[in-house]
Structure 1
Amino acid sequence: MKKTITLSALVLAATATVAFAQNAFITIGSGSTTGVYFPVATGMAKMMNDAGGLRANARSTGGSVFNMNGIKSGELDMAIVQNDVAYYAYKGTGIDAFKGKANPNVRSLAVLYPEVLHVIVRKDAGINTIADLKGKRVVTGDLGSGSEQTAAQVLEAYGLSFSDLGQQLRVSPAQGISLMQDKRADALFYTVGVGASAISQIAQTTDVKLIPVSGNQAASLLKKYPFYVRYNIPAKSYKGQGATVPGVAVQATLVTSSTLDTDTVYKAMKAVFSNEKALKTLHPTLAANYADAKAIQGLPAPLHPGAVKFWKEQGLNVK
């Protein structure tokens, strides 16, 4: 009788474990509702829910730095982040929030699309190059954000630092856009997918233009920080943009933690990435840039075992 009870208990425990795995809940960190992260994360959550076996939701957050801290604390299960910020969190370097606090549990799932540095300036501010930002009122992103780090690195390539600005405005992109519209800021750094609604909005309501990051300065930036890639913002991406604007980009990447179990990650990957055509319908930026073959290039941390299993099934050479 004792043996029968023990076996029954084991069966019940195994059944409960399977039920839990089938109903695993995933919270995906995104970013501002005016950016690209949020609609992409929302679409991914819907794909996971529709596939069955998972429950998922997308959460609007402060962006990449917040998301990496959320992954570390367990507040978030997955998140979309800049690949440079994920690298800093994994290594414990680069950004003050991560220095000396490496998170070896960071795991990559897929590279999604380029996140292009948009340097937006008011046409009446007399700014034609990055060098012209000296003495100007410049929105560099939230304190300690990925955008702020990008701004610092680009200014450095042009021989400038934050101390050379007339005023460094450390606010969110949404707040920065309001400052631009109210003529309380001259320029705005914003790292985001091309076509972001926030930039489309300011282009519709304010006389602005995009400033290029190119030439020797761009070359030195790419050499020093290998997570950057060159990216040209196509003409007519925004109202009033008549020509292609040379620039640089990091890459939006879906990440998780090694603490999330392999089966859950595999199911999530299969729900989102099995149908490339469906994935691309989530946002024009994905439609223009995503490809399975690119999804494993430029990863900021090792792939999660669940992702390795999935990508191998897709015929990609991963480990």
Structure 2
Amino acid sequence: MNAKPIAWVLLAALVTFTQSGALHAAQVLSIGTGGQTGIYYVAGQSICRFLNRAESTHGLTCNALPSAGGVANVQGIRDGKFMFGFMQADHQYKAQQGVPPFDKDGPLTDLRALFSLQSEVFTVLARRDAAISSLDDLKGKRVNIGNPGSGQRETLEEIMQAKGWDSSVFAMAAELRAAEQASALGDNNIDAMTYFVGHPNAAIQEATTTTDALLVPVSGAAIDQLLQAKTYYSKAEIAGGLYPGNPTPTPSIGSKAVLSTSAQVSPEVVYQLVKALFDNLERFKQLHPAFAELNEAEMISSGLSAPLHEGALRYYKERGWR
């Protein structure tokens, strides 16, 4: 299980160093993100742009690739498809422990964290005419539970388990990707959509602009029990006024978005990627409203349920942060 994936062996063979320690041979890095309407994709594209600007110095180029989401990114890191991947902090924890949905392949003990980004909130949005004002009202409705490998699918399944449900409680359990949800809601093909995402979000904005839709509270006794049992979740809230027709705050549960990698990735490669982000952090914070409140202290400590990669730790020590 801990054998080095071919991608890491190739990396070691292809990348050499000059006497100054700079990377000599060009190497293409890959970051698994999420759907192209999501924040993971924005973050990955932005980090790659920062890294690529200094290619002549460190010899690295970076591609941010769309994916099915955090669960898929864990598997991508495991099998060498992605060198880095965004995921929720709960996915990072579950992958390390080898618990569902990662139990089939066993614990991913060499998973390493680089930094966390925005808080993500499990979001339920329903058509007003579907008469859904609580989680219990989802029973008997047409609900998009999310595509396999996505964060919303995994979290919704945990919520369903806490409530003693399975997908048969819904009139229809759709498996649409994030980018397909807003139009499906507007076309009245589903009654409610689910998303585990940072806010504000383009898909939620689209859905609430084109459709009379309401955010649904994710709360109640079963949710309180879930929070007690699953400490990688915490209480969260979607601020009021972010979206048309939703003027008041909506309670829910949340987690942090984390960029992760394998311990087998070169410390110099990780160092250069981390440096690219933090050297451009103020610019990065302007690229999406969800990034606006990021700060270094929280990014290198909060939500990191896996150990820091030694390349990231090297940069943080140089900056005097650790």
TM-score of the superposed pair, with normalisation by structure 2: 0.87
Q: In structure 2, the residue corresponding to 1:103 is in which secondary structure?
A: coil
Q: For 2:298, which of 294, 298, 305 is the aligned residue? A: 294
Q: For residue 13 of structure 2, what is the aligned residue in structure 1?
A: none
Q: State the Cα deviation string for residues 155-189 of structure 1 (Å, max 9, x = none).
A: 34444332322221122122333322221211111
Whether the aligned pair in 2 keeps the contact of 1:180 and 1:187 (CA below 8 Å) is: yes
Q: Give the letter for the 1:40 counterpart.
A: A
Q: For 1:60, which of 62, 66, 69 is the aligned residue? A: 66
Please give the alpha-carbon distance, in whole angstroms, between the structure 1 residues aligned to 2:315 and 2:19: 25
- Which runs of structure 2 are paired with 1:33-182 in the superposition (5 Å)? 33-52=36-55, 53=58, 54-95=60-101, 97-182=102-187
Q: Give the letter for the 1:227 counterpart.
A: Y
Q: In structure 1, the residue corresponding to 2:292 is in which secondary structure?
A: helix
Q: Give the letter for the 1:107 counterpart.
A: R
Q: For residue 194 of structure 1, what is the aligned residue in structure 2?
A: 199
Please give the alpha-carbon distance, in whole angstroms, between the structure 2 residues aligned to 1:17 and 1:57: 26
Whether the aligned pair in 2 keeps the contact of 1:130 and 1:158 (CA below 8 Å) is: no
Whether the aligned pair in 2 keeps the contact of 1:130 and 1:155 (CA below 8 Å) is: no
Q: Give the letter for the 1:127 counterpart.
A: I
**Offset at residue 192 of structure 1 (A):** 0.9
Q: For residue 9 of structure 1, what is the aligned residue in structure 2?
A: none
Q: Give the letter for the 2:307 counterpart.
A: P
**Looking at CA atoms only, which structure, 1 or 2, has the larger radius of gyration?**
1
Please give the alpha-carbon distance, in whole angstroms, between the structure 2 residues aligned to 1:38 and 1:145: 14
**Offset at residue 136 of structure 1 (A):** 1.1
Q: State the Cα deviation string for residues 271-319 of structure 1 (Å, max 9, x = none).
A: 111343223122110113x2211112221311110011112233334xx
Q: For residue 9 of structure 2, what is the aligned residue in structure 1?
A: none
Whether the aligned pair in 2 keeps the contact of 1:120 and 1:188 (CA below 8 Å) is: yes
Please give the alpha-carbon distance, in whole angstroms, between the structure 1 residues aligned to 2:271 and 2:21: 15
Q: Give the letter for the 1:87 counterpart.
A: Y
Q: Percent same amino acid at aligned positions? A: 34
Q: In structure 1, the residue corresponding to 2:316 is in which secondary structure?
A: helix
Give the aligned CA root-mean-square deviation in angstroms: 2.1
Please give the alpha-carbon distance, in whole angstroms, between the structure 1 residues aligned to 2:292 and 2:103: 33
Q: For 2:269, which of 264, 268, 271 is the aligned residue? A: 264
TM-score of the superposed pair, with normalisation by structure 1: 0.88
Please give the alpha-carbon distance, in whole angstroms, between the structure 1 residues aligned to 2:215 and 2:17: 58
Alignment gaps of 5+ in structure 1: 1-12
Please give the alpha-carbon distance, in whole angstroms, between the structure 2 residues aligned to 1:80 and 1:98: 20
Comparing 224-233 with 85-94, greater Cα deviation is found at 85-94
Question: What is the total number of aligned residue pairs between the two structures?
Answer: 303
Please give the alpha-carbon distance, in whole angstroms, between the structure 1 residues aligned to 2:232 and 2:91: 10
Whether the aligned pair in 1 keeps the contact of 2:256 and 2:302 (CA below 8 Å) is: no
Q: For 1:303, which of 295, 308, 311 is the aligned residue? A: 308
